[in-house]
């Protein structure tokens, strides 16, 4: 440095030194404050800690209810809770519509009930009385329905499958008998010559139709799951029409004919039940909500088959004026539908035999 001249030291160097001094001062103050707080907390009375947490964190505050700010808890619903949480939609064919009691009960239910033979004597109104469904009951089963007609509709009415939506919590369904052609099969059996084998000669054709039904049934269940992914779907099987060991001919059906018709009913039920079980296993494997439950009704009318003293199935009814078989033939009687209702209400309570994965958030 030259004597007599002012210093040429950079002003930035002085500012840096000043900033460093300030930083050290802040650190010392913060450290002192921390020590002071720690010492203060050490000597606080025990009851002060919860008050401090309540004031600062809004947690653990005293009161009659749960602590403020608590999160909702996930609770697994019971089978009954799942079924009742929305709308009960009843779909299917004549075994669900009430064909067997329709002519004895012609009170209108809804649009198209007259063409579909929906009757208040069916099991559906009885199930609706047994449980309180949050979204009410929608009854759209239609006599003569096939799996294809669930998608296309009948008599110009809206397809049954479209009645199912996100708010649906329970579906009951009987389907497959018309796909297998059972009405025509039974008619051919009854109308044959007494010594003819025309009834059992239909075996190969019926077996082929039942095997095709597996694919069509899968399509139905897939669509129901897409439309109502959280619903319980209960698929109702068909009852054995004749005693396990028939003793005599009935309605021109020999003992051999009755055994064969029993066997075809068992085969149909097994095909539909296998598809339903496969679907439910997939739902459970992925821990999905809802279920597909097969309700095997094959033995449901045991002791009350056609030809027994108190049958749950109508035998042969002929319209003498038109010389044709009445549609209620070989469909459930009032007692038969009440038996179905009992089976379904018990299935609703029992569930699919595994935990439901439908979750409800409970508010504390």
Is residue 360 annotated as a catalytic residue, yes or no? no
CA separation for the pair 272, 294 (Å, rounded): 8
**Residues linked to residue 172 through DSSP beta bridges, in sequence order:** 90, 234
Within 10 Å of residue 142's Cβ, how many Cβ atoms? 26
Contact 76, 217 (CB under 8 A): no
313 DSSP assignment: B
Residues 6+ apart with CB under 8 A from 207: 267
Q: What b/e readout covers 315-334, taking b as 16+ CB neighbours within 10 angstroms?
A: eeeeeeeeeebebbbbbbbb
Q: Which residue in the list 85, 117, 174, 331 is annotated as catalytic?
A: 331
Residue 46's Cβ-side half-sphere holds a number of Cα atoms within 13 Å equal to 0
Is residue 152 annotated as a catalytic residue, yes or no? no
Q: Which residue in the list 94, 96, 174, 329 is annotated as catalytic?
A: 94
Residues 6+ apart with CB under 8 A from 230: 82, 166, 169, 289, 290, 358
Dmax over CA atoms of the chain, in Å, equals: 144
CA separation for the pair 21, 211 (Å, rounded): 90
Q: Which amino acids are annotated catalytic?
A: 94, 331
């Amino acid at each position: 440095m030259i004597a007599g001249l002012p210093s040429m030291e950079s002003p930035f160097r002085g500012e840096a030194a000043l900033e460093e001094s300030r930083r050290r001062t802040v650190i010392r103050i913060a450290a002192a404050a921390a020590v002071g707080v720690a010492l203060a907390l050490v000597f606080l009375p025990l009851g002060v800690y919860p008050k401090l947490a309540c004031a600062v964190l809004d947690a653990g505050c005293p009161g009659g209810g749960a602590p403020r700010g608590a999160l909702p808890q996930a609770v697994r619903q019971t089978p009954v809770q799942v079924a009742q949480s929305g709308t009960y939609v009843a779909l299917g064919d004549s075994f669900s519509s009430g064909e067997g009691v329709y002519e004895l009960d012609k009170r209108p239910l809804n649009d198209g009930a007259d063409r579909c033979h929906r009757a208040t004597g069916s099991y559906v109104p009885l199930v609706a009385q047994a449980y309180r469904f949050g979204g009410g009951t929608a009854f759209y089963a239609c006599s003569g329905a096939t799996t294809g007609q669930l998608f296309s509709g009948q008599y110009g009415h809206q397809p049954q499958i479209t009645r199912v939506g996100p708010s649906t919590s329970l579906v009951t369904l009987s389907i497959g008998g018309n796909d297998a052609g059972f009405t025509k099969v039974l008619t051919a059996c009854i109308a044959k010559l007494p010594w003819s084998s025309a009834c059992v000669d239909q075996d190969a054709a019926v077996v082929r139709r039942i095997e095709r039904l597996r694919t069509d049934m899968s399509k139905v269940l897939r669509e129901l799951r897409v439309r109502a992914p959280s619903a319980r779907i209960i698929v109702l099987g068909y009852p054995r029409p004749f005693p396990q060991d028939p003793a005599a001919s009935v309605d021109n059906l020999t003992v051999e004919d009755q055994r064969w018709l029993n066997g075809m009913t068992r085969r149909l039920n097994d095909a539909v039940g296998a598809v339903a079980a496969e679907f439910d296993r997939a739902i459970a494997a992925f821990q999905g909500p809802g279920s597909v439950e097969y309700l095997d009704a094959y033995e449901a009318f045991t002791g009350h088959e056609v030809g027994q003293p108190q049958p749950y199935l109508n035998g042969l009814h002929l319209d003498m004026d038109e010389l044709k078989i009445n549609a209620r033939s070989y469909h459930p009687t009032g007692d038969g539908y009440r038996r179905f209702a009992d089976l379904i209400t018990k299935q609703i309570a029992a569930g699919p035999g595994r935990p439901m994965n439908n979750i409800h958030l409970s508010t504390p």
